[in-house]
Amino acid sequence: MRIALLADIHANREAFEAVLARLDKHRIDQVALLGDIVGYGPDPAFCTEKAMELVERGALGVIGNHDAAIEGDSSDMNSIARAAIDWSRGRLDAEHRRFLSGLPETLRVGDALFVHASARSPRGWEYITGPQEAERSLRATDARFTFVGHVHKPQLWRLTGLGVAIGHEPITGFEIPLAKSFVWLGVIGAVGQPRDGSTAAAFAILDLKRQSIQFERVPYDHFTTCRKVREAGLPEPLATRLLRGR
Ligand code: ZN
């Protein structure tokens, strides 16, 4: 079973389409959307509809904090994120909003758990920024593999027998074996708003049979997305972020 892991699409149509086109090369059985389909980007309706189509055809999807904020409370977001959520609400119809707010917090396929931020508290939206946060997520579940998004920087962690989280380099384009003797946490970089210094869309391929993960990047036309962010009147840092990849 090969599952494509896509996180943090963030209403970026060009990045989403580039990743979906690339999946044809990867012999995928399943797609898992790890949350934040909307927010920040200029194409919330298109990306929500595409996600709805995928879920209708059997894809998995969990809720992200931006998806939850569309129908819920955005007061704890920073002013830029909140401005984009307010703008996005007006571009989504009732069906889009129902779909986004109705996404489950977690999903499990065999040994693999999918959640947007951390297994410790799916609605707590904790960021995995270091070994302590990784350890807290790893200890919170009996799943051998947990896959999250939220941070927009690819990471790979394993929990040792001593209960310590050790980080691994999430090298792009190589199949990384997930050794049986450990419990693993993969943080998938963002499709639609990378923050690790690369402008290319990030995703990953999980192979449950071979017990491996492969982190991937796809360059896309981020200049067009940047132009659309500006034309929409969204906050300028959301445009420059796409140009810098951070
Ligand atoms: Zn996000």
36 Cα to the center of ligand 1, angstroms: 5
At residue 213, the pLDDT reads: 98
140 Cα to the center of ligand 1, angstroms: 22
pTM passes above 0.95: yes
10 Cα to the center of ligand 1, angstroms: 7
Architecture of domain 2-244: 4-Layer Sandwich (3.60)
> Span 52-57, mean pLDDT?
98
How high is the mean pLDDT of the chain?
97
181 Cα to the center of ligand 1, angstroms: 31
161 Cα to the center of ligand 1, angstroms: 31
Share of the chain above pLDDT 70, in %: 100
Is residue 143 very low, low, confident or very high in pLDDT (cuts 50, 70, 90)? very high
151 Cα to the center of ligand 1, angstroms: 7
Q: What is the distance between the alpha carbons of residues 68 and 65, in angstroms, rounded to a whole number?
A: 5
15 Cα to the center of ligand 1, angstroms: 14
**Are 37 and 47 within 8 A, CB to CB?**
yes
34 Cα to the center of ligand 1, angstroms: 10
Is the pLDDT at 161 greater than 90? The verdict is no
At residue 118, the pLDDT reads: 98
Q: What is the distance between the alpha carbons of residues 226 and 228, in angstroms, rounded to a whole number?
A: 5
Phi, psi of 104 (to 5 degrees): -75, 160
Q: For the CA atoms of 179, 130, 80, 201, what is the dihedral angle to 10 degrees? A: -30
> Span 28-46, mean pLDDT?
98
| Boundaries of every domain in the chain | 2-244
162 Cα to the center of ligand 1, angstroms: 31
Strand order in the sheet with 201-207: 60-61, 30-33, 2-6, 201-207, 212-218, 175-177
Q: What is the pLDDT of residues 100-136, one digit of tens each?
A: 999 999 999 999 999 999 999 999 999 999 999 999 9
